[in-house]
A and B are shown apart, each in its own frame.
Chain A
Amino acid sequence: MSATRPAPESPSKTETAPTAGRYETVVGLEVHAQLKTASKIFCSCSTKFGARPNTQVCPVCLGLPGVLPVLNERAVRFAVMTGIAVGGTIATRSVFARKNYFYPDLPKGYQISQYDRPLSSGGQVEIQVGGAWKRIGLVRIHLEEDAGKSLHPEGRQGVNTTLVDLNRSGVPLIEIVSEPEIRSGNEAYDYLIRLKQILVYLDVCDGNMEEGSLRCDANVSVRPRGQTAFGTKTEIKNMNSFRNVERAIAFETERQIALLESGGRVVQETLLWNADKGKAEPMRSKEEAHDYRYFPEPDLLPLDLEPRWIESVRKDLPELPYQVRERLTRDFGIPEYDAEVLTETRALASYYEEVARRSGSAKLASNWIMTEVNGIRNKQGQSIEEFPIRPDRLGMLVKMIAEEKISGKIGKQLFEMMLTRPEDPEALVKSQGLLPIDDEASLRALAREVIAANPGPAAEVRAGKERTFAFLVGQAMKQSRGRAHPEKIQAALKKELEAT
């Protein structure tokens, strides 16, 4: 995914079969977010990504005989923070349960999760649909442990090998289950963007889909518009980017509609998204025929949370995206659209705030960040933290432009230089000879030079051809590399044309 997201109004290109208008898509998402704790949920092994296989393991996360889980309190705190942030009700008693199934990367033969008594119930994520806000309800958020990873390397001489890496086994996850209130792949995309934004603002998840710290399964069904009963749903797994979720839902919507249109029936099944083929394909049925035999985890006591503690977590909650958005429009008077773009991440919002404060021009600061800064960052795939021009220097630059000490053009030249050089814009203006030409004598000298170099056009202007005057102004700007004061050079040219 790109470093910044497109404007919320811009619709994506996927979507809509010819018959789609007669049907309504119904989507519910299950998102697994990896919590940003230093250690695993039931042992003290590191959760760091990318270590050599099976080096971040201990008897507990290997599921050796005799071990017991010990709950990581930080994981609980992060899950509670998320529940509060989405307006969920935090359970003062929630219960861990075992989900039993056999798989080589599941070392205990069961996953410790929560079942009938999750940590958080209800709540919502607000998304934008066609410029208006829409509330997507949440069913629940619960805590659970991750399984390991199965790798299927190319077999040597036809030998099928599966390797298991248990570094991820026991990494803390929250599962966030939405109500089936999402109506398109496009809405699903915005839902995921907004959910990720909340998680990253809370600093409970790094939101990195490539490293698997955010994963999403989609339940998709269609029904004739106006019908209240749900159609038969399918579950799509294995989508490794938000765009793929969007594409997969669009694909599955079309497939189901086509099926119904041709008189067929949708079969409830699990599909795997194949990004290369752009298709969702049925999973082998053997792997999905599970009775998980949930029962309360006897090795962990019920998780009892003091209402007072929950309150203290609520009080310590950092500012959420919508709160920052409101504050920016209120305090800086920028349009809602700008606030939306600038609050993409908490760091970008802080960056903006500093530039706005230092420059004294909130809207100009916003324009510079939305176009120039984000333009570079998108090209380079940089986060705002990695962006080489820090907000103090950009603030100075925007201030110089706002106070008309330099033109926007010079500003852009300075901006380009600042990307690779450490100096302040003031110093660069001096050392690079970019000081504006706005004193009468220099402007008149420049005007004379331009007229002398362009006798033909000068004659045309004198003969009354007003449009050619713009050409001479352009030449003056070019000659001065944009340093000439745009209004004053016009006056100087006029005076010189009259004088000679």
Chain B
Amino acid sequence: MSRKPDVLETAESIGHAVRKRERSAVEVARVFVERAERSAPRLQTYLHRDAERTLAMAADVDRRVQAGETLSPLAGVPIALKDNLCTHGVPTTCGSRILEGYLPPYDAHVVERLRAAGAVFTGKTNCDEFAMGSSTENSAYFPTRNPWDLERVPGGSSGGSAATVAALEASLSLGSDTGGSVRQPAAFCGVFGLKPTYGAVSRYGLVAFASSLDQIGPFARTARDVALLFNEICGRDERDMTSRAEAKPIDLEGLERGVKGMKIGIPRDLLSDGVDPEISASLDRVTKTLREEGAVVIDVTLPHARYSIATYYLIAPAEASSNLARYDGVRYGFRAKSEDLQTMYASTRGKGFGREVRRRILLGTYALSAGYYDAYYLRAMKVRTLVRRDFDQALQLTDAILLPTTPTPPFKLGEKVDDPLAMYLNDIFSIPASLAGAPALSFPSGKTRSGLPIGLQLVGKPFEEGTLLRVARTWEKKSGDPLGVPPIVNGGGRA
């Protein structure tokens, strides 16, 4: 009961130790809580953190272990939740002023599942307001910093969830991905991030940004840990009509089978310009390794993928403009004092939402307006169908598509915040899979010369998350631990 937990311990081994009573959940929780006490204030990973509640949850898990309950592999594992996942009685702000102080009266489906599994929640992580952004700088409260370089962004919108796992403040975390919001911060922070197939995980209790694109996804430091967390949250939920029964847990041992005979496609046409040379080099290294391991790597084309950003920035804001209409100051959240109803609406929403959110609401409102609908929204939906078809065709020839997660390594805070277009372009490689509804995984593939993480992305057939993790696991085993631990974990780190 007294062995000191290893810094590099996986969620799998923590869960194992807790269930075998080799270590108490409280003991584990304390290690993570103490680490967070040190680094979280500098990284600004959390919007809401309650150490007492975390330890109480851990104590409860220990009681369940003592009572001889059969517990899930995640029992006693410290897990962070993005602040757009509803937690009963615990603040859920989505990084927005408009939901300051809002306490949901219910748990999101994934939160409910994890509670039942005996997971220990470390807190609610910072994010871009309503998950709109790629740097977590759009949080109404404060920006989160990249654990590898405190002057750089952790990516977004799930920047807090990515950074907290990278900095070992939590063993695992959940984020949400609409156009890359799990994969891009995973790449920037040097961890694994999975956007499951659309419909694989119930969205019940995920505060909606763009309903036809949103998916909840896990962050972890190993491929196997991604599978463990995915297995706990996937599957049909009666409360989400878009959730699907085809979503089945992944066989962990299947991840060890290597890539011999597998076909990997690389969309060369999409990579022709704008990819950082160090990322291209990393892609080549991974390709070489996979070939050596017996995979066949071929070129594929995704001819419509280059229209993805334009398409995405019509569909996502259109849905958002409607999804965010409920924040009107009438029933909950922030309300601006006003003389009459119309002014109250305008002033509440004008003051309660940040710039990026307002920009997207305006974009979406415009795209859905009478006279513009056909030219914008309807056309975008048609292009979306073409993008999906591209993936279907490319994946008929291959088991997975390999491409960078981002065109560049993490950028500096403030570098793109005033240039929305540059910020949007950062999602060029992640948005196509979102439009297609396909599963996509970002895994750490190496470091730049200056020590910043690089992530690559695998996209697969619907409900074949396991195939992606199997490829990533093969690379993981061959490469060892290419990143190590960010300096801040041991008290270091600039700024």
Binding site for B on A (CB under 8 A): 59, 62-71, 98, 100, 102, 104, 107-110, 164, 286, 291, 293-295, 298-301
Contacts and interface: CB of A to CB of B under 8 A. Distances in A.
B411 interface: no
B325 A102 contact: yes
Contacts of B324: 109
Given A64-B104, A107-B326, 11 more contacts: A65-B104, A66-B205, A66-B206, A66-B207, A70-B240, A108-B325, A109-B322, A164-B331, A293-B322, A293-B368, A300-B241
Q: Which secondary structure dominates chain A's binding surface?
A: loop
Contacts of A71: 241
A69 B326 CA distance: 15
Interface residues of B, number: 45
29 contacts: A59-B105, A62-B331, A63-B331, A64-B332, A65-B94, A66-B84, A66-B204, A66-B208, A68-B203, A68-B239, A70-B238, A100-B368, A104-B328, A107-B331, A108-B325, A108-B326, A109-B322, A164-B331, A286-B342, A293-B321, A293-B322, A293-B365, A294-B373, A295-B318, A295-B377, A298-B211, A299-B208, A299-B241, A300-B242
A71 B240 CA distance: 10
Contact of A66 (B86, B238, B241): B86
B207 A65 contact: yes
Nearest to B98: A65
Contact of B108 (A66, A70, A294): A66
Contacts, number: 100
Nearest to B325: A109
A65 B106 contact: no
Nearest to A295: B368
Contacts of B313: none
A308 B86 CA distance: 41
Contacts of A63: 326, 331
Given A64-B104, A64-B332, A69 B325 contact: no
A67 B204 contact: yes
A167 to B, nearest CB: 14
Interface string B103-124: 0111010000000000000000
B1 interface: no
Interface in B213-268: 238-242
Q: B-side binding surface: helix, strand, loop or mixed?
A: loop
- Which of A62, A65, A104, A107 has the most B CB atoms < 10 Å from its CB? A65
Interface string B315-350: 000110110111010111000000001100100000
Given A66-B104, A295-B368, A110 B322 contact: yes
B241 A291 contact: no
Contacts of A67: 204-205
A108 B204 CA distance: 15
B385 interface: no
B282 interface: no
A231 B238 CA distance: 50
B396 to A, nearest CB: 25
Contacts of A65: 86, 92, 94, 99, 102, 104, 207-208, 326
A110 to B, nearest CB: 5
A68 B204 contact: yes
A114 to B, nearest CB: 15
Interface string B369-393: 1100100010000000000000000
Nearest to B205: A66
A295 B315 CA distance: 11
B212 interface: yes
A17 B94 CA distance: 62
